[in-house]
Amino acid sequence: QIAQLQQQGVTITVANVDVSDAAAVADLVGELAQSANPLKGVIHAAGISDIALAHEMTFEQWQSVTRSKLEGALNLHNATADLELDVFVVFSSIASVWGSGGMAHYAAANHFLDGLVDYRRAQGLPATGFNWGPWGGAGMATGDAAEEAERRGLKPFDPESAIELMTKAWTGGNAHQTVVDIDWSRFREILEMRRAHPLFGTLGRNLAATSGVTGEKSAFFKSLIPMEVEERQEHIVGYLQGLFGRVTGKSDTEVVDPEMPLMDLGIDSIMALEIKKQVEGDTGQAMKATLIFDYPTINKIAEYFAVNLYGEESEAASVAAGAFHGEAIAIIGIGSKMPMAPNGPGDFWNLLKNGECGINDEPSERWDLKQYLDKNEDAPGKTYTLSA
């Protein structure tokens, strides 16, 4: 491609410069400014991606991802501040628009690029930002990364198509353009597995809400209709053990403990969607996106199904639900001291997430239990239990 451009009379100079090195960038821009073909435009497309949970991230991981984006773009901005540029383009990411699990540093770095575009425009300088979905070819989304993106409903662009889309979007003159090829039936359900995203409004909601739900139970679930609740629940436990075992890659001889917290199985949002789709197909009913978070063990799910899938239609309808879509709220301050979670909301959330019990024996250091304990549950001013 470079050779083709050169044949068309385009002058191409390749310089091996670290864009996060302010002095090196300034020297390069200075050389170009003195050349026969002065610098008239900048396209910042540098970037490195990495997966790291925020609470486990090291400073080195943070810096390795943010340097090329944050420092690199700022260096280009400073080095060209006195030049009359026609264009200053930054390649940002959808990660800064709606986030990306395990990539807080990458999202933050791209969000800085978005802010730099706004800052330059406020100064009367040219600036345009493109918040890209994944690129295939020589981009970050190649090989396993491309497959992972498609599993999440994000289709990688080939470079030629991406450049064509960028050219079309450029003519609008907007400061920011989000350019992404999305399979809404997958992407929205995965993204909203834990909570709704008001940012999207109604985009893709109808596609996500109607897929795979027939209203007809499979032969297995039909066979459970005449059973008592307890027997039905036992069969559903076996069904769920097989389903969760297959999705998480367990061998045929490995049996999932029905009391194990499902998050301990290493289930990610894509696995959760696969489980949800399979259950919807087998039961014929739409399931809440938060199913495995609301019922965090196989026994809890089986108990819920055994009753709610086989009640009157008005009761069974309670199973069918989409993600809750309410108005945005702001939490100004929050504090709590709950049983088995004495240090605030974080402890309480972990208690809920792990499916643990908050009931414990009443502490003797708080009051004299003998003074209040009475085996007669009707005794006035007394209690007959030692747990709370």
Looking at residue 290, what is its pLDDT?
77
Looking at residue 123, what is its pLDDT?
95
- The encoded tokens of residue 182 equal 């999305």
What gap in Å lies between CA 42 and CA 40, rounded to an integer?
7
Looking at residue 79, what is its pLDDT?
96
What mean pLDDT is predicted for residues 25-49?
A: 90
What gap in Å lies between CA 129 and CA 113, rounded to an integer?
7
Looking at the chain, which residues constitute the CATH 3.40.50.720 domain(s)? Answer: 2-182
Looking at residue 319, what is its pLDDT?
42
Looking at residue 141, what is its pLDDT?
54
What mean pLDDT is predicted for residues 276-303?
A: 87
What gap in Å lies between CA 268 and CA 292, rounded to an integer?
11
Domain 2-182 class? alpha beta
Looking at residue 126, what is its pLDDT?
94
What mean pLDDT is predicted for residues 140-151?
A: 70
What gap in Å lies between CA 159 and CA 297, rounded to an integer?
44
Q: Which residues contact 327 (CB under 8 A, 6 or more apart)?
A: none
Nearest to 68 by CA among 12, 140, 134: 140
What mean pLDDT is predicted for residues 103-115?
A: 94
Query: Ranked by mean pLDDT, which of 53-57, 307-311, 314-318 comes out on top?
Result: 53-57
Radius of gyration of the chain (CA): 28
* DSSP-H helix ranges across the chain: 2-7, 22-33, 59-66, 72-79, 95-98, 104-122, 144-151, 159-170, 184-191, 205-210, 219-223, 229-247, 269-283, 291-294, 298-308, 313-316, 345-353, 369-372
Nearest to 298 by CA among 249, 242, 349: 242
Residue 14: CA count within 13 A, CB half-sphere? 3
Looking at residue 300, what is its pLDDT?
93
Q: Which residues contact 272 (CB under 8 A, 6 or more apart)?
A: 193, 291, 292
Looking at the chain, which residues constitute the CATH 1.10.1200.10 domain(s)? Answer: 219-316
User: Mean pLDDT across the chain, nearest whole number?
Assistant: 82
Q: In this prediction, what percent of the chain has a pLDDT beyond 70? A: 83
What mean pLDDT is predicted for residues 146-173?
A: 82
- The one-letter amino acid code at 118 reads D
Residue with the two structure tokens 């309808």:
317
Global pTM value: 0.62
What mean pLDDT is predicted for residues 176-199?
A: 79
Please name the helix (run of DSSP H) or strand (run of DSSP E) that holds residue 87, with its range, or none: strand 87-93
SS3 193: coil
- The encoded tokens of residue 22 equal 């302010």
* Segment among 16-30, 32-46, 201-215, 236-250 with least mean pLDDT: 201-215
Nearest to 280 by CA among 235, 307, 320: 320
What gap in Å lies between CA 91 and CA 111, rounded to an integer?
11
SS3 41: strand
CA 351 vs. chain centroid, Å, equals 22
Residue 219: CA count within 13 A, CB half-sphere? 0
Domain 219-316 class? mainly alpha
Query: Ranked by mean pLDDT, which of 60-69, 198-207, 273-282, 332-341 comes out on top?
Result: 60-69
* Segment among 13-17, 83-87, 340-344 with least mean pLDDT: 340-344
Q: Confirm if 295 and 244 have CB atoms less than 8 A apart.
A: no
Beta bridge partners of 361: 387
Q: Confirm if 183 and 153 have CB atoms less than 8 A apart.
A: yes
